[in-house]
Amino acid sequence: MKPPLRIAIAGLGTVGLGTVQLLQRNAELLAARAGRRLVIAAAAAREERRQRGVDLSGIRWFADAAAMARDPEIDAVVEVIGGSEGIAHDVVAGAIAAGKHVVSANKALLAHHGAALSRAAEAAGVALHFEAAVAGGIPILKALREGLAANNVTRIYGILNGTCNYILTEMRESGRDFAAVLSDAQRLGYAEADPSFDIDGVDAAHKLALLAAVAFGNAVDFAGVHVEGIRHVSALDIEFAAELGYRIKLLGLARLTPHGLEQRVHACMVPRSTPIAHVDGVFNAVVVEGDFVGRVMLEGRGAGAQPTASAVVADLIDIARGRWSQGFTVPAAALEARPAAPMARHIGAYYVRLMVVDRPGVIADVAAALRDEQVSMEQMIQRGRAPGEAVPVVLTTHETEEAAMRRAIERIDRLDSVLEPVRVIRVEAL
């Protein structure tokens, strides 16, 4: 058997400890599958003496994670610190410069610096793998690099944030509004004390930028992702979605268009008949559409200690076998710098909800705003009558250009009969 692969773990939070547990618990299985032992040789975290519930005896401790990454007794560094800058970047860049393989679960770091780090890794002749950075335990990057490598990917989309999926699922099942369900999610540990990165779509956007780069051979372009969250989704919207035959999901979607690479993260109305509509709770799912394979969907736990550790260790096994490849499928120099497709050029259908004063002429004014922008209405729901009172009106449109839809909404917002900002959710034909 080959000499052991000596691993250093930078960060002993949830994912770091899960990785330690997996490497220790399945040591014999991993050695058989990797052809050599995977040995934790060193670790670094903020506090050495903290009780963590795992056996760290015999493991060298480093107060300085960046110094550990450069240690000559280390073969591979696992970076699970998090953050796009600072010590996480120093660890990964330093490890690569010192000729160490790197496995990272850090989607923010890779979304901002992935192309530069990939170029450095290729120049150094080492691996930079990051399966755990996207969709937790779902092996979507390996599927794109290997099992689906013969295909031109035409579209990729998915539920990439378990916190948002949990909130939207609970809203649908309980009938409660966003704020109440978010509070429960925080209490249960599904949402952070500051949930902004999740509920505002930033976490999903980091992951989508990486998925799109691997799927389309594009330079990672986080700045080119159109990002919206779910704060504006109400229980009323979820109720109307069900009536119309849809469910609301926060999706990340990417595809090549004549205008460039379209990358967008936002709430979507998805037909209830589609498989992804039934992915509930904290689960993630990713759908890949290829020119020869057709549609492939992978579903699983998108976060947590064990699923994410599973992805980290899978990358370590590939490195131990000597079967690693470019993290972005093609050499970094071959990644294309396509322009970001302007969101204003997006073509799609829309769900629109208004709160209006129930009086004659309101619907005619709304219809005129849509007509003047050549937006075709598909259906409308107006429940009951309450003359002079506020009532909800919901309509859906046929496919139209986003710019035209925005102009129509701006005009509708200015009507004195419209009592609050118009709520718009894009409808996706998946």
Q: Say whether both 89 and 157 belong to one domain.
A: no
Considering the domain boundaries, does residue 203 fall inside one?
A: yes
Q: Say whether both 133 and 144 belong to one domain.
A: no
Catalytic residue chosen out of the listed positions 100, 107, 142, 207: 207
Q: Say whether both 283 and 418 belong to one domain.
A: no
Q: Say whether both 108 and 59 belong to one domain.
A: yes
Q: Say whether both 47 and 120 belong to one domain.
A: yes
Q: Say whether both 281 and 366 belong to one domain.
A: no
- What is the C-alpha separation between 60 and 294, in angstroms, rounded? 49
Considering the domain boundaries, does residue 315 fall inside one?
A: no
The CATH number that applies at residue 269 is: 3.30.360.10
Q: Say whether both 128 and 169 belong to one domain.
A: no
Considering the domain boundaries, does residue 409 fall inside one?
A: yes
Total domains, the chain: 3
Considering the domain boundaries, does residue 146 fall inside one?
A: yes
Active site residue 207: yes
pLDDT of residue 49: 62
pTM: 0.93
pLDDT of residue 286: 98
Considering the domain boundaries, does residue 11 fall inside one?
A: yes
pLDDT of residue 407: 97
Considering the domain boundaries, does residue 31 fall inside one?
A: yes
Q: Say whether both 283 and 356 belong to one domain.
A: no
Considering the domain boundaries, does residue 286 fall inside one?
A: yes
- Which residues span the domain enclosing 161? 140-301
pLDDT (tens digit, 0 to 9) for every residue of the chain, 430 residues total? 689 999 999 988 889 999 999 999 999 999 999 999 999 999 998 776 666 667 777 789 888 999 999 999 999 999 999 888 889 999 999 999 999 999 999 999 999 999 899 999 999 999 999 999 999 889 999 999 999 999 999 999 999 999 999 999 999 999 999 999 999 888 888 888 889 999 999 999 999 999 999 999 999 999 999 999 999 999 999 999 999 999 999 999 999 999 999 999 999 999 999 999 999 999 999 999 999 999 999 999 988 889 999 999 999 999 999 988 777 888 888 888 899 999 999 999 999 999 988 888 888 999 999 999 999 999 999 876 677 788 899 999 999 999 999 999 999 999 999 999 999 999 998 8
Q: Say whether both 170 and 276 belong to one domain.
A: yes
pLDDT of residue 281: 92
Q: Say whether both 251 and 385 belong to one domain.
A: no
Considering the domain boundaries, does residue 318 fall inside one?
A: no
pLDDT of residue 241: 96
Q: Say whether both 74 and 145 belong to one domain.
A: no
Q: Say whether both 163 and 291 belong to one domain.
A: yes
pLDDT of residue 51: 62
The CATH number that applies at residue 378 is: 3.30.70.260
7 in Cβ contact with 71 (< 8 Å): no
The CATH number that applies at residue 101 is: 3.40.50.720
